[in-house]
Chains A and B, each alone.
Chain A
Amino acid sequence: MTLDMAKRDTVSPDNRPPVLEIEDLNLSYFTRAGEIPAVIDFSLTVRQGEAVGLVGESGCGKSTVANAIMRYLGHNGRIVGGTVKFKGRDMATLSEEELRQLRGSEIAMVYQEPMAALNPSLTIETQLCEVPLYHEPGCTPEMAYRRALDMLAAVKLPDPERVLRAYPHQISGGQQQRVVIAMALLSEPALLLLDEPTTALDVTVEAGIVELIAELSERFGTSILYISHNLGLILETCDRVCVMYSGEVHEEGTVSELFENPRHPYTRGLFGCIPTPGTDKNARPLTPIRGQLPLPHERPDGCNFGPRCDHFDAASCGGGMIQMRDVNPATGHRARCSRWQEIDWSVDTVAADARPPQAIGDVVLKSGEMQKYYPIFDRSLAALIRGRSVRYVKANESLSFEAREGQTVAIVGESGCGKSTFAKVLMGLETATGGELSFNDVDISELPVQRRTPQQLGSLQMVFQNPNDTLNPSMSVGGQIARVIRKFNVESDPVKIEERVLRLLDLVKLPRDFARRRPRQLSGGQKQRIGIARAFAGNPAMVVADEPVSALDVSVQAAVTGLLMDIQREFGTTLLFISHDLGVVRYLADRVVVMYLGRIMEQGATDQVFSPPYHPYTEALLSAVPIADTRVEKKRIILEGQLPSVLNPPKGCPFHTRCHRKIGAICEEETPPNAVDSEGHTIFCHIPMAELRSVEPVIKTAAE
């Protein structure tokens, strides 16, 4: 992060020609419900070589802005006011033909899903060479090939010749996204639009792409508009940032100014919701923004953020549209808040009360050398002849750890590490192939869900990841909770069941009349709360939460995690929290288990895992996670190579193919020992503990 810091401060706003100027843009979608304004009064200037971040929660209109720049608005979207100028030309006046010339050559776009941007039936070479061949008259195929090769090297793809010959499915997701970025850069565009380019990627892969993006504007002089919901990523890649809320820009300024001195209650609220190294679930809990994003056709009169704002004042915020106001005209820091001068910004946001730590009881769950293999049957003739017709995916390999009553244990790892498989075995949706898994002293590793007693089922419940999937869309919310109560024999009298449903709704802080609603009438955060109510309806001793907040917006995330912890505290429930987000894990877990390719790499108390000695994989993970705090300094470790296939994991230490601290042949041949210290901190590595202990911490917070 230090690398861009110096550059940022030297940016003075007026010395470079603007590439993109958007002025007072108003954009609406016309639907069954009438005109829905998606973007209101939006102004933005991107200068040559500048990287501007556009950040906001889902539905705030950030992608609509990007589409408006390209003039891709679909059949029902229309610009109803304002102008979009690219290099001084008004985009609205261009003909379709001129637009086509512009798209891809002057303005290029990179989307979230790399696979959707690449044609699966053409080689990378064909797709890359097409760009210069189409846009530059006089370009020969040989020149195009050379250009494609150079560009792939520039986006740091190893072995570009091989990549050029490959089809998109033959390379990994991170490599695909690099190819898409290369394709976008091939025509030397003046403006590159990046719409959540790393959201679909794993965090260690994301780190590499982010580093690449951060260098792009410098190396190619390309202007960048970077759209993301993640403030940490914006901090690592951009010079300036625009914060959008409900179709409007609510604050804009340079990255350092906006992150250090936000002057809009929403921006400040957002920072209060993001777990950073300074927050702690007991001493310094996160402060969620209350309420939820207004629907586009139900925006309040006056300030859109008004109903959720602690500084709302009917006289100054209540009527009419709030204009953008200059905070610091010299740097272009502006905020859409009529009270920004009256609010005392030095006072910390209303910090939620510190809570006493949760009492930890006896061991509830004990996993002893648990393993889960999935057989893969190869029915080809060759396999039959070789006598190797069955291979195994080792989804979980000798997992050993414990969880105690009232404790929050987090399992962290990237996709394919086996964390969800473990949850399935625990819930009885799959059975283990070996080892033991005892819950309340009963081995349940080979007990499928059909053979568990209602009591066992009720005491072990789950909160799911996807809010849109967690509830049955054709059943009322109350009916779904009531079903659980009946099923686990908590109550049998209909009146009492109903009463309990309403009490559970109180518990998850939702209005009681939600019982009659259908899931589609609820927002993502509300659905997730119902999912939590449903999990707690049977008085469980342990709740497994599989990425319960990763699909939610940050402001809602904080509220849902807070709620989960409050309920856990009230009932003394053990929480197994499965996540890929180290920020959230650090914030709420008591113990952390780090997994990679089905094995536990490191486990220990949260503080132990987040400070040296680290397992090299934990170290790389920590360094990859973007942190939305300018005071934090991180060591940069970019993992080389791609995640090996679980079908064919590396011999010896599974991490040796990507490890930056590999010590030699021993890593490739021998399974590492589990080094345990006196407090139960275990590291699965050949490197001696003493050496790991001397490693410099990944995250340093600048002293204030």
Chain B
Amino acid sequence: MTDRTVDAPAPRRQSPLIGALKAALLLRESIVGTVGALIILFWVFVALFAGLLAPYDPIAQMTPFQAPFATDADGNFFLLGTDHLGRDVLSRIIFGAQRVLIYAPLATFSAYAVGIVMGLLAGYKRGWVDDVLSRVSDIILSFPILVLYVVIITTFGASAINIVLAVTFASGPGIMRIVRGLVLDLRNRDYVAAAQTRGESMWYIMFVEILPNARGPLIVDACLRLGYTTITIGVLGFLGLGLPPPQPDWGGMINETRAMATFAPHMTVFPCIAISSLVLGLNLLADGMREVSLRD
């Protein structure tokens, strides 16, 4: 008996990282999900090694209006050509990936932080807390989303942090609704009652007993929402409300060159492809995750 106590392996938790990796490997079973993951990994790789991959400085001005595969008088080769100010399109797309892959996740994460807390409170507390939070989110959601962005950014000015704030403000209520719905179901589980009967605090129950069990649908939604945010940042750039120039920004690149798209389409088309491929990758990944999670 005593030996057994000594020998018995200590209860150890599986590292969450290993758990996540194992779950990620399951994705191999979905072709769609794998393709999505590869596209995203490609952009992450590009963003990480932008300094090494980009042939030129993204704001250096060289020969304008070079077509793809062109070599200018100085002997510079431009794989995707140059824009109206003579900046290398490829280098700008590569550095643009860095920005979008920093700000889109940051904005999504921030929206999730707000949405989750609101959703947990509304779904778990019910009563007037729910009424107030739900009405507030209804009001925000009743605005056309683009108008909301324009109002916020023009009021507070175009900067990276304000883009994050605007996205949080606009998509937080949507996330809150999803979380609230999940909590309404989960709060009636017996393990929540068990936690209540041992006198756990509200925050412990919300964040330890309920939230981890809502993660499945939330992860899929986060993937999709990351795609929307990427588009949003592009749209804001296109409307001139994005990151201030001359920093490379995919939406901004399209905006600056769209008037010239008829005679130099490459300046507009390549940033468009960059945005859509990233969004497509995120959507495929979300589809794949849903597919794998539904499979028996």
Measured CB to CB, the residues of A under 8 A from B are 31-32, 76, 427-429, 449-450, 452, 454, 457-458, 460-462, 464-466, 469-476, 478-480, 482-484, 487-488, 498-499, 501-502, 512-513, 515-516, 531, 534, 538
Contact = CB atoms under 8 A, between A and B. Distances in A.
A474 B209 CA distance: 8
Given A462-B193, A487-B200, A476 B209 contact: no
Given A464-B190, A469-B191, A470-B190, A449 B8 contact: no
Given A429-B193, A470-B190, A474-B213, A457 B198 contact: yes
Contact of A534 (B189, B194, B295): B194
Contacts of A476: 11, 13
Contacts of A76: 296
A32 B11 contact: no
Given A471-B191, A498-B11, A502-B5, A538 B198 contact: yes
A499 B4 CA distance: 11
A472 B213 contact: yes
A469 B194 CA distance: 10
B49 to A, nearest CB: 36
B154 interface: no
Contacts of B189: 469
A521 B193 CA distance: 22
B11 A501 contact: yes
B194 A32 contact: no
A501 B209 CA distance: 20
B200 A461 contact: no
A469 B296 contact: no
Contacts of A483: 198
B11 A449 contact: no
A479 B12 CA distance: 9
15 contacts: A32-B29, A76-B296, A427-B197, A449-B196, A450-B199, A457-B198, A472-B209, A474-B212, A475-B212, A478-B11, A482-B11, A487-B200, A498-B10, A499-B5, A534-B194
Given A449-B197, A464-B190, A471-B191, 12 more contacts: A449-B196, A450-B199, A452-B199, A462-B197, A469-B189, A470-B191, A472-B191, A472-B213, A475-B212, A498-B10, A499-B5, A516-B11
A38 to B, nearest CB: 13
B9 interface: yes
B197 A473 contact: no
Interface string B196-227: 11111000000011001101000000000000
Nearest to B4: A512
A202 to B, nearest CB: 21
A454 to B, nearest CB: 6
A469 B190 contact: yes
Interface in B159-217: 189-191, 193-200, 208-209, 212-213, 215
B13 A454 contact: no
Contacts of B208: 472, 475
A461 to B, nearest CB: 7
Contacts of B196: 429, 449
Given A32-B295, A465-B190, A470-B190, A484 B11 contact: no
A487 B195 CA distance: 10
Nearest to A462: B197
Contacts of B10: 498
A488 B296 CA distance: 40
B11 A466 contact: no
